[in-house]
Chains A and B, each alone.
Chain A
């Protein structure tokens, strides 16, 4: 007898989805690169020779050299780890916060909703970069790579959109007849919330969160550019992009490659999120 649970059907659906496999492969590749960068390049990202400054692609250095004479490919590969760690973890943090706040505000309503919604409004009113400059500045230590500080900063400042989307979806789902029907059939509050309301309200939330991943990887770049992001010798796509920007008119390739990696990664996660969301919606099957 076939598995009839939601996850079972979703998996059966995903297995046949080419976009899912393509994006999953890309995500796997990026994760592999983040964990074992030395598998992809033998060059040392820390060894730079000004003699190679702004050299174009050549055998042995596929992507050429940047304005400091560092190997662009090596730095891009080694930058994956920080970008992914900061991007994924801050998005995860923001996603969890947004889910809890949105679900609680939407489900309980009343005072809980009022307090949480005003909190969301306040957070939404805070200019994210300004707050990050203050916040990250407090958390970071001079000379360290500050990965934790940047992750927490971005996570804590970026959950609002997810919370709002979640809240409105929960409010819509809560008043549906199937929730009343589930109550009629003896379901308690936890079952209502997690079995009936949550699965029917995550669709737009998943989209918002996957887009947030790209935004947060880029935000790390901005913070680093402003000097409150990753510090010390830490390499990331964001820092590479920020540094290469100044020379973009002279030489484009040091900017193009990390930017391309960033774009491909964000696209892979968005496609993955889309495929998963569609798989969990029976009507799209």
Chain B
């Protein structure tokens, strides 16, 4: 059947999630802000991909585009593909796309307090998912909600199921958010800065919890973060984003050992290190480009110490393959690698 190819879950050989050449822009009164400019990456089952980049580089917008929850207008996906098991989600009608959400791909928000509806108890919000998507009875859904709260290690889940979001602490709220996202057993979980709003000890607990849940369920996890320290412990691969493009894609240890893009290298150098105590911390000079006015050529060129003439001319550098499963978008990748 020709129709069958368009159904979700048709192709089991394709990567779980494949983003290619994704372009997203925001049409505002002040002009068109190009938030994502050809981002590409993929995710395999059971794998953790860290999408790394500073504020405003298009990480969260990419996540929202994958979920299909961009506020539109002003946000529009202008080009590219988002393939889930081979099916391009962008071409699905809204109704079918809605069925993919939560069931196949779910997302964790940065600020769990604002992401939980304040007028419903957490148990009710969880149970509602089971009632609506799984047609469970009130009682079964409630019991399932308690089980789930237990799985995300909320102490005394049974007694807390009727509590409201504001009655939970920050870390507990993020656990509730995780429970909501995992309720329908998605195959892909996108975590958009899941620990940014939390303090450091709680961050570690939440990352540990996410890693455990991922292993148990063999989920693909896209971890969006700006925190290199968070990435090192949990990710398998890294995609480094700058000004809406993936500038480097590599297995996590390779990146730390030998960054292939000047931006990645600068990021790594700006992490405070104990052995360099007392010395001036290295910083990346300048600011990320305004999204309404992205420089021609490599968008990092104004801040780059390797930049030469070809970097300032379009087209932007292609993805140079530097090793198996490793690419970097830099004309001078050999020099950056130190070869």
Q: Which residues of A come within 8 Å of B, CB atoms?
A: 1-2, 4-6, 9, 110, 175-178, 180-188, 191, 195-196, 199-200, 280-283, 285
Contact = CB atoms under 8 A, between A and B. Distances in A.
B101 interface: yes
B118 A177 contact: no
A169 to B, nearest CB: 13
A12 to B, nearest CB: 10
Nearest to B145: A4
Contacts of B101: 183-186
Contacts of B221: none
B99 interface: yes
Contacts of B184: 185
Interface residues of B, number: 41
Contacts of A281: 119
Interface centre among A2, A185, A200, A281 (most CB of B within 10 A): A185
A285 B99 CA distance: 36
B164 A186 contact: no
Interface string B150-174: 0000000000011010100000000
B121 interface: yes
B117 A200 contact: yes
Interface stretch (B23-31, B106-114, B308-316): B106-114
A9 B71 CA distance: 33
B118 A282 contact: yes
A180 B109 contact: yes
Contacts of A176: 114
B102 interface: yes
A268 to B, nearest CB: 26
Max count, chain A CB within 10 A of own CB: residue among B98, B119, B124, B166: B119
Contacts of B115: 177-178, 180-181
A181 B120 CA distance: 14
A177 B121 contact: no
Contacts of B123: 4
A4 B146 CA distance: 13
Interface centre among A186, A191, A196, A281 (most CB of B within 10 A): A186
A280 B106 CA distance: 29
A184 B106 contact: yes
Given A184-B107, A186-B99, A186-B102, A200 B119 contact: yes
Contacts of A187: 98
